[in-house]
Amino acid sequence: MAAIAFVLATPVGAQQGSRNATTFKGDPVAGKLKAEDERCQECHGHDGNANDIEDGIGNIGKFPRLAGQLPSYLMKQIRDFRSGARHNDSMFIMARSLNDRDAADIFAYFASQKIASEKDGEAPLGRRLYVQGDAARGIPACASCHGEAGQGQQVGDASYPRLAGQHRRYVTKQLAEWRAGERRNSPGGVMNAIARQLSDNDIDQLAAYVAGL
């Protein structure tokens, strides 16, 4: 597998557009071994799909799929866990033990893996919100940031994650946390503003739609 080059998001405390942003060439071969050493597979699965990981009560989907995810987005999240900008006790401990160079290799490995999908039916409302948004409620199309196919994209310093194929349960939980203000680490707080306009049914439909992309 070839090395995957990506520019890391601007470090916490640095100015946007800072020249201190660092370019790493993550090594997916080394990353596979490091992911095993750091026990990433225990929650995210051996290939990053988390299909074989349950939460102890028979439910799959508590942990996000990292397969196919943008390395720059994953790097931002690990830094946010490390700084406390995003809260999760387990990930805080993991992030503090992992330096950025090793993280770059691990994320290159997961990015190189093929993500699964879990389409289990149609989600017309979810598709409409994702593709068109709802101007009357001030909800922009999800595709404008996350890509028409949910592939994610880097726009300047902002890294918008891949949503296609993400676990439905995980997406539902994250949108609910954005809405409640329990998660607040999106660029400019955009996800909090959007999620506050979403009903429970909107969230369920969006989660079903992106999981099947």
Q: What's residue 71's pLDDT?
A: 96
Among candidate residues 187, 185, 191, 163, the one with its CA nearest the CA of residue 80? 185
- Is the same domain home to 27 and 95? yes
Question: Do the beta carbons of residue 208 and residue 121 sit within 8 Å?
Answer: yes
- Is the same domain home to 78 and 148? no
- Is the same domain home to 59 and 100? yes
Q: What's residue 11's pLDDT?
A: 40
Residue 98 counted as domain residue: yes
Range of the domain at 84: 4-111
Residue 119 counted as domain residue: no
- Is the same domain home to 136 and 179? yes
| Listed residues 111, 146, 176: the one ending a domain | 111
CB atoms within 10 A of CB 151: 17
Q: What's residue 155's pLDDT?
A: 92
Residue 157 counted as domain residue: yes
| Listed residues 72, 89, 111: the one ending a domain | 111
Residue 186 counted as domain residue: yes
The count of structural domains within the chain is: 2
Q: What's residue 197's pLDDT?
A: 98
The angle, 0 to 180 degrees and rounded to 10, between the axes of the packed helices 89-96 and 71-83 is: 100
Residue 179 counted as domain residue: yes
Q: What's residue 4's pLDDT?
A: 62
Q: What's residue 122's pLDDT?
A: 85
Residue 47 counted as domain residue: yes
Residue 116 counted as domain residue: no
Give buried/exposed letters for 38-77 (b at 16+ CB in 10 A, else e).
Answer: bebbebbbbbbbbbebeeeeeebbbbbbbbbbbbbbbbbb
* pLDDT tens, per residue, the chain with 213 residues: 666 655 454 443 333 333 344 566 899 999 999 999 999 999 999 999 987 666 655 567 889 999 999 999 999 999 999 999 999 999 999 999 999 999 999 999 999 999 988 877 789 999 999 999 999 999 999 999 999 999 999 999 899 999 999 999 999 999 999 999 999 999 999 999 999 999 999 999 999 999 999
- Is the same domain home to 103 and 148? no
Question: Can you give the pTM of this predicted structure?
Answer: 0.87
Residue 32 counted as domain residue: yes
- Is the same domain home to 134 and 87? no
- Is the same domain home to 56 and 144? no
Question: The domain that contains 98 carries what CATH number?
Answer: 1.10.760.10
| Listed residues 111, 138, 165: the one ending a domain | 111
- Is the same domain home to 153 and 79? no
CB atoms within 10 A of CB 141: 16
